[in-house]
């Protein structure tokens, strides 16, 4: 593939920043956006924290009670996640980005990749100018800051956007790629989590530079062929993944927190059925059928366990969904006889858009 210029844009502490925009009085104090599980007033996890809260050690994923301990006696705004509002802000920003790219790919509610090779005539000077213009436009229209990374591919751009936050701009030209990546910790590469980082550290690989020099066969033994080559290529700054518009959702899911941690199949199935019904209604309304059903059980120790099953034809009817989900649950309960379940969720994937006219029956067949 010819030389490309790829931009990765990440809106800074997005949910918390949206809350600051809506209510500017919050700006100078800690803002903690919380995903409440509904069990007790404080149970749940932190979704996003602003930078004031981060100074006290609060970060996404920690329990709300921990955050409250860290911010004891400090005037803090604890706010519930407001998905609808964030999605509105996000979609307006994504429209700005779409119109600034040759090719555009939204990665999540607050991240996107832009291929800007043609419109910048492959010039990093022009790319820098474009990046400043985009930042300015987002700030002017929505009042939000973002961090941008640019490089010859998605892997480099993504890592670059994360290096200087908030409100960063990091440009890595092809000649700078190796010097930029080498000193960074290996887990900066997307997909290298705690477990993989530990396995790498056991064979003496700490940095991306170490990883780049490691014999790929050694990595194949640890991670299997597909991941090994992806990690090795990424570490060498080589990545051919195109920026591609994602029009269709890839999956739908619904997860619920049980009233109490339990192993009672009857109790879990009650909530699982409810999750299936909610999910099926949504998927049908969007006119999809699906071939893959998965469930996730989050245990009392917060480990997630998943099982899934793929069918040859689209699954028909909510009852079929419930039956499969129940069977998958039984497998998990059998496999982990000592753990109680805390949250239960169902997910459908391998979506197929329903063809032709929709009939009333399609809507009411659930």
Smallest gap, in angstroms, from Cβ of residue 200 to Mg ion?
26
Which CB sits closer to Mg ion, 10 or 105? 10
Which CB sits closer to Mg ion, 10 or 20? 10
Interface pick for Mg ion out of 10, 19, 20, 239 (rule CB under 5 A): 10
Q: What x/- string results for residues 68 through 107 when contact with Mg ion is judged by CB under 5 A?
A: ----------------------------------------
Which CB sits closer to Mg ion, 19 or 110? 110
Stretch that binds Mg ion, among 10-18, 81-89, 196-204, 300-308 (CB under 5 A): 10-18
350 assigned to active site: no
- When asked if residue 142 is in the footprint of Mg ion (CB under 5 A), the reply is no
Stretch that binds Mg ion, among 12-20, 88-96, 158-166, 239-247 (CB under 5 A): 12-20
- HEC letters along the chain: CCCCCEEEEEECCHHHHHHHHHCHHHCCCCEEEEEECCCCCCCEEEEEECHHHHCCCCCCCCEHHHHHHHCCCCCCEEEECCHHHHHHHHHHHHHHHHCCCCEEEEEECCEEEEECCCCCCCCHHHHHHHHHHHHHHHHHHHCCCEEEEEECCHHHHHHHHCCCCCCCEEECCHHHHHHHHCCCEHHHCCCCCHHHHHHHHHCCCCEHHHHHHCCHHHHHHHHCHHHHHHHHHHHCCCCCCCCCCCCCCCEEEEEEEEEEEECCHHHHHHHHHHHHHHHHHHHHHCCEEEEEEEEEEEECCCCEEEEEEECCCCCCCHHHHHHHHHHHHHHHHHHCCCCCEEEEEEEEEEEEECCCCCCHHHHHCC
Smallest gap, in angstroms, from Cβ of residue 257 to Mg ion?
25
Number of residues that bind Mg ion (CB under 5 A): 3
- When asked if residue 110 is in the footprint of Mg ion (CB under 5 A), the reply is yes
Which CB sits closer to Mg ion, 10 or 142? 10
Smallest gap, in angstroms, from Cβ of residue 108 to Mg ion?
8
Catalytic residue, chosen from 87, 111, 248, 287, is 111
| Touching Mg ion, residues 13-32 (CB under 5 A) | 14
> Which residues are marked as active site?
111
- Would you tell me which residues interact with Mg ion (CB under 5 A)? 10, 14, 110
């Amino acid at each position: 593939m010819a030389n490309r210029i790829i931009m990765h844009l990440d809106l800074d502490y997005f949910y918390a920043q949206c809350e600051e925009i809506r209510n500017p009085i919050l700006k100078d104090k800690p803002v903690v956006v919380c995903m409440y599980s509904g069990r007790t007033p404080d149970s749940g996890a932190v979704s996003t924290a602003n930078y004031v809260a981060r100074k006290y050690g609060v970060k996404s994923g920690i329990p709300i009670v921990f955050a409250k301990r860290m911010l004891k006696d400090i005037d803090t705004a604890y706010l519930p996640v407001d998905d609808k509002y964030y999605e509105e802000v996000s979609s307006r920003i994504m429209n700005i980005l779409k119109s600034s790219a040759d090719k555009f790919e939204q990665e999540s509610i607050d991240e996107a990749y832009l291929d800007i090779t043609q419109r910048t005539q492959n010039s990093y000077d022009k790319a820098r100018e474009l990046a400043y213009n985009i930042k300015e436009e987002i700030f002017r229209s929505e009042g939000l800051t973002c961090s941008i990374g640019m490089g010859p591919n998605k892997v480099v751009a993504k890592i670059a956007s994360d290096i200087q936050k908030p409100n960063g701009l990091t440009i890595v030209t092809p000649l700078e790629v190796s010097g930029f990546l080498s000193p960074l910790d290996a887990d900066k590469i997307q997909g290298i989590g705690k477990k993989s980082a530990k396995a790498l550290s056991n064979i003496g690989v700490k940095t991306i530079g170490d990883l780049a020099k490691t014999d790929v066969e050694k990595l194949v033994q640890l991670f299997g062929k597909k991941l090994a080559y992806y990690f090795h290529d990424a570490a060498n700054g080589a990545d051919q993944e195109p920026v591609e518009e994602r029009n269709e959702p890839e999956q739908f899911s619904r997860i619920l927190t049980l009233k109490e941690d339990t192993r009672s199949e009857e109790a879990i199935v009650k909530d699982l059925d409810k999750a299936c019904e909610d999910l099926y209604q949504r998927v049908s309304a969007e006119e999809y059928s699906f071939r893959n059903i998965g469930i996730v059980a989050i245990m009392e120790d917060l480990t997630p366990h998943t099982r899934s099953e793929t069918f040859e034809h689209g699954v028909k009817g909510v009852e079929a969904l419930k039956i499969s989900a129940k069977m998958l649950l039984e497998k998990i309960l059998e496999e982990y006889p000592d753990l109680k379940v805390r949250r239960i969720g169902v997910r459908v994937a391998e979506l197929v858009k329903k063809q032709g006219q929709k009939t009333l029956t399609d809507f009411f067949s659930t």
